[in-house]
A and B are shown apart, each in its own frame.
Chain A
Amino acid sequence: MSVIRDLLTGIASLFKGLWVTLVNWVRPKTTIRYPFQRREMPPRYRGLLVLRRNPETNEVNCTACGMCERNCPARAITIEAEGKGKERRAREYKVDYGRCMFCRMCVEECPFNALAMTGDYEYAVYDRDGLVVGLKQLTAENRPRGMTGKELRGEKEEASAEKAEESASQ
C-alpha cells in the first residue's frame, strides 16, 4: 500500500510544484526597467549637490561664508569669494565628488539655506576631472550630467526647504 501512497503523493507533488510556478508566473513583477524607468528617490536621499536660488529674485542664496568648506570632513568643497559685506558672493564654488562622501554636513551647516542635495545618483563620468564640478554646473538651470535637482524647480522649492529645516532642527 505504501507504494501506491508514495506514487499518489509523488504525482500530487508534481502538480503542487506547477502551482507554485504558476502563482509566480502571473504575479506582477516589481522590476524597474532602469534606464527607461527610474525609482522616485526619498526626499532625504543624499545625492549630488546643488546651490539653491531665491525663488523671487532668482539669485543664488550662497554668500560664500565658507561654513560648508570648513565643515566638510573630506575637504571636497573649495570656495573663492568676491565682494564685501552684503555684496559678498562666490566667484567659484568647486565640489570634488572624488572626495565627497555624501555626508550632508555642508547642507546641515549652511546658514543661508543655499545648499541642497538632490535625488540624483548617477555620478559616473569618463575621467577624474569630470568629478570636479564648478559653480556653473551647480547653479545652471540645464545642468549637465543629468543633475535635475527637484528642489530647484519652483513648485517644489518651499516644500523641500521646509523639510530641510525640519531635518536640521531634529
Chain B
Amino acid sequence: MRGSSPSELYVFLHGLWERAGWPEGIWLVLWAVVVAAVIMVFVLLTVLILVWVERKVAGDIQSRLGPARVGTRFGLLQTAADALKLLLKEDIIPACADRALFVIAPFIVFVPAFLAFLVIPFGRRLVAQDLDLGVLYVVAVSTLPALGFLMAGWGSNNKYSMIGGMRAVAQLMTYEIPLGLSLLTVILSVGSLSTVDIVAGQAHLWNIARLPMTIAFVIYFICAMAEVNRVPFDLPEAEAELVAGYHTEYSGMRWAIFFMGEYGYLFFVCAFGTTLFLGGWQGPLLPPVVWFLGKTYALIIVMMWMRWTYPRLRIDQVMRFGWKVLVPAALLNLILAGFWFAR
C-alpha cells in the first residue's frame, strides 16, 4: 500500500470522521466496504450495458436489429428483463454433481473480475488502491478464473463440462505466459509495477506509440481475447462440439454469474490494456474519466467486432499458436525492448 496523495473526497470525509472522534480502525473497514461497493455496482452496471452492446453489435454485423422490444425501440431494458428472468428460474443442480464445487465455481470465476479493478486508475486520483506491485497483483488475480472453470467442469460430472474445463485451463495457462511477457515490456520501460506510475509515465506519449510496445500491445490484445474466452478462442464453450463447455449444467442465476464474470473480465482486460498501452486516463480537453472509459469502450467494441467476424480455431491450433508463435514472439519482443529501452 502506498501513501501517495489520496483524493480530496477521502481527505474531507476522513477529516469529518476524525473530528467526530470515532476510532480509526472502523474508518478503514468502512472505507474499504464503501470502495468495494462502488466497484461492485460499477462493474455490474457495466456488465449490464456490455451485454446489451454485444447483442446490438452482433445484430448489426449480422444484418439484424438485435434487441428492439423491451425498453424503447433500442431494447435498452433487455438485459434487465433477462436478469429478472434468470433470477426467477429454477435452481438446478445435477444429481451426481459434486455439490460444493458446483456451487462455488461461478463465484471463483466471478470474484477475480471484481478484485482486478482494485488497481485500475479510472482518473487522476480515482484508483481504489495504488499497489506497488499492481501489475503483478493483476496477473495473480486473473489466473484464478482458470480454477473456477476447472471446478465447474469437474463438479458438473458431465463429459462436455469436463472437456470444456480442461480446455479452459490449458488455454488460460498457455496465454498467461505471452500476456505476462508483454506486460514485462511495459514494466521494463516504465520501471514500476504500479499502474498509477505507468499511466503517469504516458503523459506525453502513449506507450503504444513506442515500437516494442506496439508489438507488445498486439500480443496483449490477442492473449486478452484468449483469456476472456472470446470467439477466435472460445474453445472452452465451443457450442458446436461441447454444448456449452464448462457451464453446460448451469442454469438460472448460477449461469448468470458465469456470464457476469465473463463480461466483467472482458471490461477489465480492456481497461487494463488502456492503462498499460493507451495512456489510461491521459488525454486533452475532456475529463480523465471520459478519456479512460472512451478508450476502454473502443477496445471492447473492437473485441466484439472480432468476435462476430472470425471463426473459431481448433484446440490444437490454439495451443500451437500460443506456444509456437506468441511465446517466442513475446520473448523476442522482450529482448528487443531490453535493447530499445537500455539507457
Could you list which residues of chain A lie within 8 angstroms of chain B, going by C-beta atoms?
A: 14, 17-18, 20-22, 24-27, 29-31, 33, 36
Contacts and interface: CB of A to CB of B under 8 A. Distances in A.
B309 A36 contact: no
Interface string B270-313: 00000000000000000000000000000000000110111000
A108 B60 CA distance: 45
Contact of B61 (A21, A31, A36): A21
Contact of B64 (A18, A22, A29): A29
B68 A33 contact: yes
A97 B308 CA distance: 45
A25 B61 contact: yes
A27 B65 CA distance: 11
Contact of A31 (B57, B64, B305, B309): B64
28 contacts: A14-B310, A17-B309, A17-B310, A18-B305, A18-B306, A18-B309, A20-B309, A21-B305, A21-B308, A21-B309, A22-B305, A24-B60, A24-B61, A24-B62, A25-B57, A25-B60, A25-B61, A25-B305, A26-B60, A27-B63, A29-B63, A29-B64, A30-B63, A31-B64, A31-B65, A33-B65, A33-B68, A36-B73
Interface in B46-95: 57, 60-65, 68-69, 73
A24 B73 contact: no
B329 to A, nearest CB: 12
Majority SS at the chain B contact face: loop
Nearest to A27: B63
Contacts of B60: 24-26, 29
Majority SS at the chain A contact face: helix
Nearest to A36: B73
Interface of B: 57, 60-65, 68-69, 73, 305-306, 308-310
Contacts of A22: 305
A143 B310 CA distance: 52
Given A30-B63, A33-B69, 18 more contacts: A17-B310, A18-B305, A18-B306, A18-B309, A20-B309, A21-B305, A21-B308, A21-B309, A22-B305, A24-B61, A24-B62, A24-B63, A25-B57, A25-B61, A27-B63, A29-B65, A33-B68, A36-B73
Nearest to B311: A17
Contacts of A29: 60, 63-65
B131 to A, nearest CB: 36
A24 B305 CA distance: 11
Nearest to B69: A33
Contacts of B64: 29, 31
A81 to B, nearest CB: 48
A170 B69 CA distance: 44
B231 to A, nearest CB: 12
A29 B65 CA distance: 7
Contacts of B73: 33, 36
Nearest to A31: B65
A52 B305 CA distance: 55
Contacts of B69: 33
Instruction: Report which residue of B65, B309, B310 has the largest number of chain A beta carbons within 10 angstroms of its beta carbon.
Output: B309
B76 to A, nearest CB: 15
A33 B66 CA distance: 11
A151 to B, nearest CB: 31
Contacts of B310: 14, 17
Contacts of A24: 60-63
A14 B218 CA distance: 14
A122 to B, nearest CB: 18
